[in-house]
Amino acid sequence: PAGATLIGAASAIAVGRSVSFTDPTSGAPALLLQPKAGSFLAYTAVCTHQGCTVSYEGSQFACPCHGATFDATTGDVTGGPARGPLTKINVQVVNGQVYAV
């Protein structure tokens, strides 16, 4: 797609797992996940509390610094001390390749 940035092959991401990439817009660390087969979501991995890098664990993101958690479907905060949601990155799958758009 025009203006899109290739993240990687869809087949490289196991269902229920995530891969790291760099958000082409902000340059921040980001995570691409496949929570269900054929369904891809991406978020910046920067905790909205003080900027630590969150990881994807099961159905949520967890921050190692002060324990904030975020819903993996929406990016919304599910546990403090963070207050704001993770920033969602729109993705598109074309010919088996996942792009940030």
What is the token pair recorded at 99? 């792009």
Nearer to ligand FES, 26 or 50 (CB): 50
Q: Which is nearer to ligand FES, 1 or 67 (CB)?
A: 67
In the complex, the smallest distance separating the C-beta of residue 95 from ligand FES, rounded to whole angstroms, is 36
Smallest separation, CB 22 to ligand FES (Å): 19
CB of 73 to ligand FES, least distance (A): 19
3-state secondary structure labels for all residues of 30-73: EEEEEEECCEEEEEECECCCCCCECEEECCEEECCCCCCEEECC
The binding site for ligand FES (CB under 6 A) comprises 47, 49-52, 63, 65-68, 81-82
The answer to whether the beta carbons of residues 60 and 70 sit under 8 Å apart is: yes
70, 86 Cβ separation under 8 angstroms: yes
Please identify, using beta-carbon distances, which residue of 28 and 65 lies nearer to ligand FES.
65
Name the minimum Å distance from CB 8 to ligand FES. 26
The candidate with the shortest Cα–Cα distance to 57, out of 89, 45, 80, 24, is 45
